[in-house]
Amino acid sequence: MNPEPNQAFTEVARDGETTVSRRRFLLKVSIAINALVAAAIATPVIGYLLGPIRKRGAYNSWIALGQVSDYHEGETVLATYRNPHTDAWDGDTGKVACYVRREKGNTFTVFAVNCAHLGCPVRWFPQSELFMCPCHGGVYYSNGERAAGPPERGMFTYDYHVVGGKLMINAGQMPTLANEAKLVKGILPCPGTSKPTIG
């Protein structure tokens, strides 16, 4: 007696046990693999879409850059701090540089080290009192204002305050136009915007 045509592709009962045909097993395996691939693709996409609704200030972390007495009035120095959102195995890549200028007393300006054009690290030249970008020739005055080159605005700055004789900066996230970076005083807003910060 020949088996029915669909018998090879259905569950067959033998001796009280249910066995699964090869076709049904492979179907279940392929569904599981497709579900894993879909989850792997959907996870970063969902994270990207839900990123903007992250709680405001989620990355705020105040970091000490040393004592106020470590900085001399009228001088700009390179300082480094450890990014608070790194892991132990990040090593030296977890360090972030910034420029600290002590204006007078407890008044500071803390500049992001990155050029406002395309993000290359700028260098401070004390002889000419200029920040210069080696990538595309961006130049900034000592107060962070744009002097020359392709950048359309001045350097980005960190929020800071002095607590117990220590200089603290809000270093949870790099200052950019995307996360409400403050413009340096006296600098016009970016072209196409009506206000100096974007929120």
DSSP codes, 128-192: TTEEE-TTT--EEETTS-EEESS-SS---EE-EEEETTEEEEE-SS---GGGTPBPPTTPPPPTT
Q: How confident is the model at residue 159 (pLDDT cuts 50, 70, 90)?
A: confident
Residues 68 and 165: beta-carbon distance below 8 Å: yes
Q: Report which of residues 51 and 117 the model is more confident about.
A: 117
N- to C-terminal Cα distance for the chain?
77
What value does the mean pLDDT of the chain take?
A: 77
Residues 156 and 114: beta-carbon distance below 8 Å: yes
Residues 156 and 187: beta-carbon distance below 8 Å: no
Section 58-73 average pLDDT: 80
| Segment 2-48, tens digit of pLDDT | 555 445 444 555 555 566 788 889 999 999 999 999 999 999 888 88
Q: What is the CA radius of gyration of the chain?
A: 29
Per DSSP bridges, beta strands 139-141 and 76-82 are unpaired
- Give yes or no for residue 197 having a pLDDT over 90: no
Section 93-121 average pLDDT: 86
Nearest Cα to Cα of residue 162 among 104, 96, 81, 111? 104
| Segment 108-131, tens digit of pLDDT | 888 888 888 888 889 999 898 899
Per-residue model confidence (pLDDT) at position 191 = 46
Section 163-190 average pLDDT: 63
Per-residue model confidence (pLDDT) at position 14 = 57
CA dist., res. 85 & res. 59, Å (int): 8
